[in-house]
Amino acid sequence: MNRPTTFNPSMRLHTPLLGALLLFSALGVQAQNFPSKPIRLVVGFAPGGSTDKLARVLGKRMGELLGQSVVVENRPGAAGNLAAEQVAGAPADGYTLFMTTLSSQAINPHIYSKLRFDPAKSFEPISLVAKYPLLLVVAPQLKLNSVHDLIAYVKKSDQQIFFSSAGTGSPAHLAGEMFKARTGGNLQHVPYKGGSPALLAVMSNEAQLAFETIPSAIGQTKGGKLKPLAVSSEKRSGAAPELPTLQEEGLQQFVVTSWAGLVAPAGTPRDVLDKLNQTTQQALNTPAVHAALVADGAEPAGGGSAEFARFLAQEFKSWGDVVRTAQIKLD
């Protein structure tokens, strides 16, 4: 004869505790086994640009360190918004990452009123990867040799002077608006569909000047198709040490630095994020990776995820102020 089961009130407490322990154990196993398949690294811009080049150099080395390939997936459109939305809705398992940028994380939320992602809530910061000073270039036909020459030119000209950019709200656009405000010049923004057409416009003197990342513009300056005048970073760039900063040329506190960093969908396990951060630091400290980024005009960054989170919050605030001052809205 079977005896009835004796009821023990403590059993009610054990069930949720057991569930929590099982979940914790599962997450631990997930992190230990991570990665067990290829990782997607989504880039919000077309192949060949500075963000794409960075993702491919970094992803290749990270794949070697992790023992799984890191596949770069280009999802251009809406200044990085389409890629951000895709990653925000991806499973939070560490197998989909986003190479976020200044535009998608700190500028777009202020100029687009309807976004299907929240820069602060939709992602988990992993690491800042690199910073990109902007290069101020002018049309060679203008025969300008310094920032002082350019300022004098835009102030005295009785004709409209145009500056080009990769699109409204891009870092290049906002840098041009800042230059306009600081110099009082007769400048008009002309947006193009990408950095390459924006630079082609300056080469042909269709637009007279532009700010663009060093990786995108440095080749054309070395070929004489663009005239470089200065960099927008706080210090001179290792890729073009002969060029002064805008601050050296008298525009105090004029510092505009684009950047890129790694994030994952919100809810990604902490152990997985930590492993990705550690791998990112190892990759950035690899001499070949470091040299490739510097040669391309990037400044390798790195650092912890908490540090990156603080950086993102500060950038969001700072660029929100710039956007409001320039009164830029796209929808």
Same domain, 44 and 182: no
Whether the full predicted model's pTM is greater than 0.95, yes or no, is no
User: How far is it, in rounded angstroms, from Cα 29 to Cα 197?
Assistant: 49
Same domain, 140 and 113: no
Q: Which residues, 6+ apart, have CB-to-CB distance to 68 below 8 Å?
A: 35, 36, 37, 38, 39
Residue 267 counted as domain residue: yes
Domain that holds residue 318: 39-132+257-326
Residue 113 counted as domain residue: yes
Same domain, 83 and 163: no
Q: How confident is the model at residue 22 (pLDDT cuts 50, 70, 90)?
A: low
Give DSSP secondary structure letters for 13-70: HHHHHHHHHHHHHHHHHHHHH--SS-EEEEESS-TTSHHHHHHHHHHHHHHHHHTS-E
Same domain, 219 and 305: no
Give the total number of structural domains in the chain. Answer: 2
Same domain, 162 and 306: no
Q: Which residues, 6+ apart, have CB-to-CB distance to 260 below 8 Å?
A: 50, 51, 54, 55, 99, 100, 101, 102, 129, 130, 132
Residue 246 counted as domain residue: no
Q: What is the pLDDT of residue 5?
A: 47
Same domain, 140 and 215: yes
Cβ–Cβ < 8 Å for 156, 89: no
Residue 25 counted as domain residue: no
How are beta strands 227-231 and 123-138 bridged, if at all?
Answer: antiparallel
Q: What is the pLDDT of residue 330?
A: 84
Same domain, 170 and 309: no
Residue 21 counted as domain residue: no
Q: How confident is the model at residue 315 (pLDDT cuts 50, 70, 90)?
A: very high
Same domain, 107 and 163: no
Assess whether pLDDT exceeds 90 at residue 25.
no
User: How far is it, in rounded angstroms, from Cα 72 to Cα 254?
Assistant: 34
* Mean pLDDT along residues 295-312: 94
Question: H/E element holding 180?
Answer: helix 171-183
Same domain, 148 and 227: yes
Residue 238 counted as domain residue: no
Same domain, 127 and 146: no
Assess whether pLDDT exceeds 60 at residue 134.
yes
Residue 2 counted as domain residue: no
Assess whether pLDDT exceeds 50 at residue 114.
yes
Residue 77 counted as domain residue: yes
Give me the chain's average pLDDT, please. 90
Q: What is the largest CA-CA distance in the chain?
A: 106
* Mean pLDDT along residues 286-306: 93
Using DSSP's 3-state secondary structure scheme, residue 261 falls into strand
pLDDT tens digits for range 247-293: 999 999 899 999 999 999 999 999 999 999 999 999 999 999 999 99
Question: And the tokens for 131?
Answer: 């910073």
Report the CATH number that the domain containing residue 268 is assigned in CATH: 3.40.190.150
Question: And the tokens for 113?
Answer: 């009123």
Same domain, 269 and 127: yes
Radius of gyration of the chain (CA): 24
Which DSSP category does 228 fall into?
E
Report the CATH number that the domain containing residue 172 is assigned in CATH: 3.40.190.10
Same domain, 217 and 268: no
